[in-house]
Amino acid sequence: MEEEVYLPSQTELYNRVLLGAVLPSALGENLPHYFQTFLRNYIFGIAHCFLSAGLWSFYIYYFKGHVYFPNGKIPRKAAILKQMWLTIKAFPFYAGLATASEYMSERGWTRCFARIEEVGWPMNICYMVIYLLCTEFLSYWVHRLLHDIKPLFKYFHASHHMFNKQTNISPFAGFAFHPVDAVLETSPQVVAILLVPMHYTTYQVLFFLDALWSINIHDCIHGRVWPILGAGYHMLHYTTNRHNYGRYTLLLDWFFGTLRDPDAEEEEKKKKKLQQKAF
Ligand SMILES: [Zn+2]
Ligand SMILES: [Zn+2]
């Protein structure tokens, strides 16, 4: 029962401190609680995504472009602006979903708990791992069904797939989804807290870090750390449309037979080219 009292006062504090920093306090405090929560999620969410994607883009294209993209193939400005526009259109829905998850947690409908001491650190880490595995499983299937059910792909997921090569994909593509797709692909994190006990603040931190992860897999810089699903694997997803559906890892793609390795794909392409030349 205690968390039902604790969580609303925690989110009230977030609203007061964060909205107070950007809105006149008389305006912010007179708004209904959940509208304040929505505004907080919207303003700080979009600022977080745009600032992180912007700073990372500046670093990899203008500061370290010669290292990461020696062939000079970086995304065109028009493509980045298109991704920003899609993000702006999707953001009320991202913020709406985050607000819905806070509403459900404050009402005690999720399995979120308020203080780590209630379970202790070892259990908190266990729950965190189970939450991530649960999110991974749900994300894999949501993403796969968005491809397998053709109308879902055509009307909702295709707008994310229009950015499909090094010259038109950037960290901003990490949030560039049709609003329905944005809700569907973010919902695993919300469904996961209905199933897995989670420390509330840890959940919010992971929600925040997920945005950075989305930036990471759309930057075209292929890290090779098994079983992490890096940008190389995600890029190959755009090429084949049938592989590498995972969110954080390769495990489910490996298990369900949809894994394809970008390095092996490159090797195959080179072999084919050599064979064609030989003929
Ligand atoms: Zn896809
Ligand atoms: Zn993507």
What is the per-residue pLDDT across 208-257, written as a single tens digit (0 to 9) for each? 999 999 999 999 998 888 899 999 999 999 999 999 999 999 999 999 99
3-state secondary structure of 113: strand
- CA torsion sign for 151, 188, 91, 87 is negative
Cα of 51 from ligand 2 centre, angstroms = 19
| pLDDT cut 70: percent of the chain above it | 96
**pTM higher than 0.75, yes or no?**
yes
**Which ligand lies nearest the alpha carbon of 145?**
1
Cα of 118 from ligand 2 centre, angstroms = 37
CB 33 within 8 A of CB 154: no
Which residue in 167, 215, 235 sits closest to 50, CA to CA? 215
Q: What pLDDT was estimated at residue 26? A: 67
Cα of 189 from ligand 2 centre, angstroms = 17
Cα of 131 from ligand 1 centre, angstroms = 22
Cα of 173 from ligand 2 centre, angstroms = 7
Cα of 237 from ligand 1 centre, angstroms = 7
**Which ligand lies nearest the alpha carbon of 169?**
2
Mean pLDDT over residues 169-185, rounded? 97
Q: What is the pLDDT of residues 96-139, one digit of tens each?
A: 999 999 999 999 999 999 889 989 999 999 999 999 999 999 99
- CA torsion sign for 228, 230, 233, 239 is positive
Which residue in 53, 59, 135 sits closest to 91, CA to CA? 53
Helices (H), ranges, 149-174? 150-152, 158-161
Give 249's contacts (C-beta < 8 A, 6+ positions apart).
Answer: 136, 227, 228, 229
Cα of 12 from ligand 2 centre, angstroms = 34
Helices (H), ranges, 23-71? 25-30, 33-57, 65-68
CB 242 within 8 A of CB 258: yes
Q: With 50 as the cut, is the pLDDT of residue 200 above it? A: yes
Containing structural domain, residue 40: 2-278
**Which ligand lies nearest the alpha carbon of 258?**
1
CA atoms within 13 A on the CB side of 132: 16
Cα of 172 from ligand 2 centre, angstroms = 10
Cα of 218 from ligand 2 centre, angstroms = 6
Total of domains in the chain: 1
Cα of 2 from ligand 2 centre, angstroms = 40
Q: With 50 as the cut, is the pLDDT of residue 194 above it? A: yes
Q: What pLDDT was estimated at residue 4? A: 46
Cα of 71 from ligand 1 centre, angstroms = 26
pLDDT band at 278 (very low <50, low <70, confident <90, very high): confident
DSSP 175: G
